[in-house]
Chains A and B, each alone.
Chain A
Amino acid sequence: MTTSSSSVVGGWRSPRDAEHDFRDAVALLGHRVAVASTHVVPGREPGSRQIAVHASDRTDDLSEGARAFVYPGVDGLRGRMRVSDLLGRSAIDAVEGLAGTEVGADAAIDTLDFVRPVLRDGRLVLQVAPAADATGPYLVPAEVPNPTPCCAEH
């Protein structure tokens, strides 16, 4: 079996920009990858950093610290579900609450259609934060898709 993988060090400032450009390129080439992840790597200037993308045909081709945005089951992680469903439907190995936030198997999680686990000690771990609305408490991924931009309209 032949596999291919590639890394692109594109000078991106944010992982989201890197993902966006990568998806454009993949769509253009009509190629499907099994996993894709972003990484922080050194930049050109001393002390600077940039975002790189690594993509591969092999589902296990993620390195320590990789922030995965393409991985088995990611397309099924939309809307709200139980934590156990999220674990059952995807390659994510564990859901971990920030700063002591409790995470039960039956707890509700709103995926915000944006689930970015990180490979830590060989396991894909999704960190989540507490959230709530009129329906009660639930969890959201610690990384949200639309952070409040600085110095823009609040």
Chain B
Amino acid sequence: MTHEHLHGHEHPHTHDHDHDHAHDHGHSHHHDAAPLDEESRAVLDLSVPDSDLPPAALARRGFLRRAGLLGVGIAGASVLPGLGAEVAADQRRTARRAPRHGYAWLAGDHHIHTQYSPDAQYRVADQVGHADAYGLDWMVITDHGSVAHAKIGVEKVNPDIRAAREAHDDILVFQGLEWNIPSAEHGTVFVHPGSHEVAVLKEFENSFDGTVNGTVSQSDAHELEALKGLDFLAASVTSGRVSDAAFFANHPARKGLDTPHELRNWRERQPHIALGMEGAPGHQAAAIPSDAHAGNGRGYYDNTPSADSWPGYPAESYKTFGGFDWMTSTVGGLWDSLLAEGRPWWVTANSDSHTVYLDDSVRPPGEDTSAYFSANGQYGDPVHSSVPNTSNGDFWPGYYSRTHVGAERVSYAAVMQGLRAGRVWVDHGSLLESVDVRVRKAGSRDPGYPLGMALPIRKGQRLELVVTVTTASRPNWAQFVPKLAKIDLVRGAVTGPSSDRDSFRAPDTSVVHTWDTTGKTGTLRFVHQLGRAVDPFYVRLRGSDGKQLAPGVYGKATDPAGPAIDVVGNDDPWDDLWFYTNPIWVIPS
């Protein structure tokens, strides 16, 4: 048998998967060589609830379960249910080589606030205008979930967004919101534009936002509310109310609120909705030296544990490293622990733009109070103040943080599909013009498999990694041309689901190769031999301007020159630039 028979719905609850899931896996699987009959497939397919199985099939499943061969107990077996669950089931339909002409790489940002957020101030038109000018191709308006937003703002912002779509031909503007995830942090939720985009977001917010419903604090019951919220989004797609919906966890390690098991639960519950997390938070200007920034952490990562924080997180998890969240920046850390399970979970980089460093606009006097906001669901339009604000900690969308998505065409649907497929890399300060990563049979002229893919490859096949990087040739928005100093190749074994749902360690993952790119410009091409495919593994890339390096959290052997911990109150984000790609898995069979 092959691993794609096993789906990731190992959670004990039952739900009607034909209606609750956005994805169309249902009972139609993609078997290359499938000697299994229909009943055997159903027995092994954990997305088929027990209640749907005939008695004999249920007995067979029960036997397998008791023998530890189904669900989490299968880790030691020769199949990889994590991958079977997710990579294979989700991606086999799109499991194809990259198109010869490549993808349209569209830069975007899924985390942007406006005057409909109680801690922000700009018009939608301001944010879209700047994002367009700074070169973004897509963006998501994500005002905070709140009582006022659920009642007023979520509707009131929509005409502004539709007007911005009309006014800007070169940028896709999604409507979303920043979800107060029950029992956890914040997250971006957004939908494909359509006649029901507001209705779906409004019902979602009223039903599942932690602030609106008082479910923010950590508890088992609240964790379940988050999963129900994801079910709702999936059902909204299945029912056709919206044609797509997605969720990303925002600033996941900032306060220790997103436990490792919650990340796993979200992904397993709705793998077509829960797509990943911010690898780098916004607020990247928060620790630029100024009197008002003394004591600030970069990204406003200057928090410490509360009762709702997961006690298992170390103190350094509350800090950023090279501007990136500890979950992502730590080689062999939390993100790698998910990838080593074969669990697709993508990283992004966004502005979280509320109020921009050195911008001189302010909320209009009289329409700047919380009473005004509560009554109107928004503040008044910003006005000029003549005084550059040094206490603000954000950049405009596109100014510093970019999430690049490999899209098959330029459309809302294609951006969402690219995000879902994991064809995503991120950078700060326009460190690179482009990066293209492929894995292919050694010596072939095949275009290879792109980011986010799991290669269905024969055991013993020789493979190579092809990296094509175009360095920056134009100045960034700080008026200098960034210089790429190095690229690191990170590689880890895929070992199947961890028995510890709260694991944040991938001890086998490390930096295995570094390309010194000092002084090199233009389009650089590197071919790296990955050897014969024997055991499953994954690779991902990371690169830097080389200005702020330090051994990684797990030591020099794991990461000899990784991002240094960021400095409180004095961290120039332009002098510490990084890019990260999402992974490619190799799964020999």
Interface residues of A (CB under 8 A from B): 12-15, 40, 43, 45-51, 98-101, 112, 127, 129-134, 137, 140, 142-144, 146-148, 150-154
Interface 9-mer from B29-37, B240-248, B316-324, B430-438: B316-324
CB of B508 within 8 Å of the partner chain = no
| Listed residue (A40, A137, A151) with the most chain B CB atoms within 10 angstroms of its CB | A151
Given contacts A14-B307, A133-B569, A148-B300, 4 further A-B contacts (CB under 8 A): A98-B316, A129-B568, A140-B295, A144-B295
B319 touches A129 (CB 8 A): yes
- A80, chain B: closest CB distance, angstroms: 13
Residues on A with beta carbons closer than 8 Å to the beta carbon of B303: 147-148
Residues on A with beta carbons closer than 8 Å to the beta carbon of B119: 151-154
Give the residues from 190 to 224 in chain B that come closer than 8 angstroms, CB to CB, to chain A. Answer: 217-223
CB of B294 within 8 Å of the partner chain = yes
A146 touches B307 (CB 8 A): no
| A150 to B289 CA separation, bound complex (whole angstroms) | 21
Task: Write 22 A-B pairs (CB below 8 A) sorted by A numbering.
Answer: A13-B307, A15-B306, A45-B221, A46-B221, A47-B183, A47-B222, A48-B307, A112-B295, A129-B568, A130-B567, A133-B569, A142-B304, A142-B315, A148-B300, A148-B303, A151-B118, A152-B119, A153-B119, A154-B119, A154-B283, A154-B391, A154-B393
| A14 to B304 CA separation, bound complex (whole angstroms) | 9
- Could you say which of A14, A43, A137 contacts B567, with CB atoms under 8 Å apart? A137
| A148 to B307 CA separation, bound complex (whole angstroms) | 17
- With A100-B550, A133-B294, A151-B144 as given contacts, are A48 and B567 in contact (CB-CB < 8 Å)? no
Residues on A with beta carbons closer than 8 Å to the beta carbon of B44: none
Residue of B at shortest CB range from A148?
A: B300
A131 touches B570 (CB 8 A): yes
| A142 to B219 CA separation, bound complex (whole angstroms) | 27
| A50 to B307 CA separation, bound complex (whole angstroms) | 5
Contact code string B89-125 (vs A, CB < 8 Å = 1, else 0): 0000000000000000000000000000111000000
CB of B405 within 8 Å of the partner chain = no
CB of B305 within 8 Å of the partner chain = yes
| A50 to B354 CA separation, bound complex (whole angstroms) | 31
A154 touches B307 (CB 8 A): no
- With A45-B220, A99-B565 as given contacts, are A132 and B570 in contact (CB-CB < 8 Å)? yes
CB of B553 within 8 Å of the partner chain = yes
B553 touches A147 (CB 8 A): no
A14 touches B319 (CB 8 A): no
- With A15-B305, A129-B565, A132-B567 as given contacts, are A148 and B286 in contact (CB-CB < 8 Å)? yes
B316 touches A43 (CB 8 A): no
| A13 to B186 CA separation, bound complex (whole angstroms) | 18
B305 touches A100 (CB 8 A): no
Residue of A at shortest CB range from B563?
A: A99
Give the residues from 398 to 442 in chain B that come closer than 8 angstroms, CB to CB, to chain A. Answer: none
Residue of A at shortest CB range from B570?
A: A132
- With A99-B550, A137-B567 as given contacts, are A144 and B306 in contact (CB-CB < 8 Å)? no
Tally of contacts, chain A with chain B, CB under 8 A: 122
- With A98-B315, A100-B565, A147-B303 as given contacts, are A13 and B392 in contact (CB-CB < 8 Å)? no
A49 touches B569 (CB 8 A): no
- Could you say which of A47, A112, A133 contacts B223, with CB atoms under 8 Å apart? A47
A98 touches B319 (CB 8 A): yes
B295 touches A154 (CB 8 A): no
Residues on A with beta carbons closer than 8 Å to the beta carbon of B315: 98, 127, 142-143
Give the residues from 288 to 334 in chain B that come closer than 8 angstroms, CB to CB, to chain A. Answer: 289, 294-297, 300, 302-308, 311, 315-316, 318-319, 321
Residues on A with beta carbons closer than 8 Å to the beta carbon of B300: 148, 154
- B182, chain A: closest CB distance, angstroms: 12
| A83 to B294 CA separation, bound complex (whole angstroms) | 21
| A12 to B119 CA separation, bound complex (whole angstroms) | 25
| A14 to B295 CA separation, bound complex (whole angstroms) | 19
A142 touches B318 (CB 8 A): yes
Contact code string B37-56 (vs A, CB < 8 Å = 1, else 0): 00000000000000000000
- A124, chain B: closest CB distance, angstroms: 15
B565 touches A13 (CB 8 A): no
- A65, chain B: closest CB distance, angstroms: 8
Contact code string B219-232 (vs A, CB < 8 Å = 1, else 0): 11111000000000
B307 touches A130 (CB 8 A): no
A154 touches B319 (CB 8 A): no
| A127 to B319 CA separation, bound complex (whole angstroms) | 13
A133 touches B570 (CB 8 A): yes
Residues on B with beta carbons closer than 8 Å to the beta carbon of A132: 289, 567-570
CB of B456 within 8 Å of the partner chain = no
Residues on B with beta carbons closer than 8 Å to the beta carbon of A147: 302-304
CB of B62 within 8 Å of the partner chain = no
Contact code string B175-191 (vs A, CB < 8 Å = 1, else 0): 00000000100100000
Residues on B with beta carbons closer than 8 Å to the beta carbon of A45: 219-221
CB of B510 within 8 Å of the partner chain = no
| A133 to B391 CA separation, bound complex (whole angstroms) | 15
- B433, chain A: closest CB distance, angstroms: 31
- With A13-B307, A40-B311, A147-B303 as given contacts, are A48 and B217 in contact (CB-CB < 8 Å)? yes
| A154 to B564 CA separation, bound complex (whole angstroms) | 25
